[in-house]
Amino acid sequence: MAAEMPVRCSVIVESRPSALGPSCREILAALEAKGFTPDDIFAVHLALEEAFLNAVKHGNRMDPTKKVVIDYTVDQEKIEICMTDEGPGFDPRRIPDPRVGENLYRPEGRGLLLIRAYMHNVEYSERGNSLRMVRCKSQPVPKG
Amino acid sequence: MAAIQPRITVEYRNEATIIAFTDERILEDTDVRALREAVEAVVEQAPRIHLVLDFRHVRFLSSAVLGLLIRISKRVYEQEGELRLCNIHPGIYEVFKITRLTNVFGIYEDVESAAQSFSARQ
């Protein structure tokens, strides 16, 4: 019965790239406990890391006085993550496509593309400082 | 074979230099910076290097590592060298496909095929 109850949590994380570790481990453990596949766990892990780096670097601009708030809910069917920084926000439509032309050879700018590729639903708040992303649980591949 | 601060190992095979990343996860800026310094130290010493980056141990990486590879690639080509990648885990290969970096890097199944792919030196 307890395994069917959704896991809900809200954490406040410092604006350091390495600060995500403990929260990330908790989220991935919750996914494993709910029977998400290794591919799901890889996808959520990657999206979390990319979203957090964006929040810390581009949102809070590494300001140690600013925090990132991560709210997440994991149930039997999906994980929903909402990540909010204290930055001014941005317009995701203005981020150039890193797969096109000279952008392909730029060392940065692939985080949002990967988040969109690995999560099933990705949306930003109007201000652009809060990201909501959802991934639905995959069906496990039958063995044999 | 030399081990550098367990981040990479360096092996020389015929005319190719094989650098293997030894970490299973490459995520943080400090890791990426350390790798960049370690790899560039090898590249700087070897103009026209035939470099193979071996990902056999790597199971997870962030987009910062893709940026690292772009930087290393530029440095190698500035030095008139050539770069190949190999042993990329399927989950990580998907990241290369999504970002279309499969069009940028020569990606090979294993060290042997990567090393054999280099053009003969004049």
Residues A48 and B42: their CA atoms lie apart, in Å, by: 33
Q: Which member of A18, A42, A113 has the closest CB to residue B98?
A: A113
Give B100 to chain A, closest Cα distance, Å: 6
Q: Could you report the predicted ipTM of this complex, rounded to two decimals?
A: 0.91
Give residue B26's identity as a one-letter amino acid code. Answer: I
Measured between alpha carbons, how far is residue B49 from residues B60, B73, B75 in Å? 27, 11, 10
Contact B104 A46 (CB under 8 A): no
Task: Using CA coordinates, name the residue in chain A closest to B66.
Answer: A107
Report the range of poorest mean pLDDT among A41-55, A81-95, A103-117, B30-44: B30-44
What is the structure's pLDDT at B4? 52
Q: Quote the tokens at residue A32.
A: 């494993």
The domain in which residue B62 lies consists of: 19-116
Residue B28 falls inside a structural domain: yes
Give residue-wise pLDDT tens across range A69-99. Answer: 999 999 999 999 999 999 999 999 999 999 9
Neighbouring CB atoms inside 10 A of A50's CB total 22
Give residue-wise pLDDT tens across range B90-113. Answer: 999 999 999 999 999 999 999 999
CATH no. for residue B29?
3.30.750.24
Contact B91 A53 (CB under 8 A): no
Q: Quote the tokens at residue B70.
A: 């772009």
The answer, yes or no, to whether residue A132 has pLDDT greater than 80, is yes
Contact B60 A105 (CB under 8 A): no
Residue B93 falls inside a structural domain: yes
Report angle CA A23, B69, A111 to the nearest 5 degrees: 40
Q: Quote the tokens at residue B76.
A: 């190698």
For residues B2-20, one letter each, b for 16 or more C-beta atoms within 10 angstroms of the residue's C-beta and e for the rest, the string is eebeebbbbeeeeebbbbb
What is the structure's pLDDT at B29? 81
Whether residue A116 lies within 8 A of chain B, CB to CB, comes out as no
Residue B3 falls inside a structural domain: no
Q: Are A82 and A123 in contact (CB under 8 A)?
A: no
What is the structure's pLDDT at B27? 83
What is the structure's pLDDT at B118? 93
Give residue-wise pLDDT tens across range B1-28. Answer: 554 555 899 999 989 999 999 999 988 8
What is the structure's pLDDT at B112? 95
Residue B12 falls inside a structural domain: no
**Confidence class of residue A143 from pLDDT cuts 50, 70 and 90?**
low
Q: What is the 3-state secondary structure (H, E, C) of A33-61?
A: HCCCCHHHHHHHHHHHHHHHHHHHHHHCC
The answer, yes or no, to whether residue B83 has pLDDT greater than 80, is yes
Residues B23 and B7: their CA atoms lie apart, in Å, by: 6
Residue B111 falls inside a structural domain: yes
Radius of gyration of chain B (CA): 13
Structural domain count of chain B: 1
Give B111 to chain A, closest Cα distance, Å: 24
Which of A3-7, A38-42, B29-33: highest mean pLDDT? A38-42
Compute the half-sphere exposure of residue A95: CA atoms within 13 Å on the CB side of its CA: 18
Give domain limits for chain A. 2-136
Mark residue A132 as left, alpha or beta (left: phi above 0; alpha: psi -120 to 50; beta: remaining). Answer: beta
Residue B7 falls inside a structural domain: no
Give residue-wise pLDDT tens across range B27-53. Answer: 888 889 899 999 999 999 999 999 999
Task: Using CA coordinates, name the residue in chain A closest to B70.
Answer: A107
What is the structure's pLDDT at A4? 80
What is the structure's pLDDT at A139? 86
Task: Using CA coordinates, name the residue in chain A closest to B90.
Answer: A39
Whether residue A96 lies within 8 A of chain B, CB to CB, comes out as no
CATH of A2-136, one of 3.30.300.20, 1.10.10.60, 3.30.565.10, 3.60.60.10: 3.30.565.10
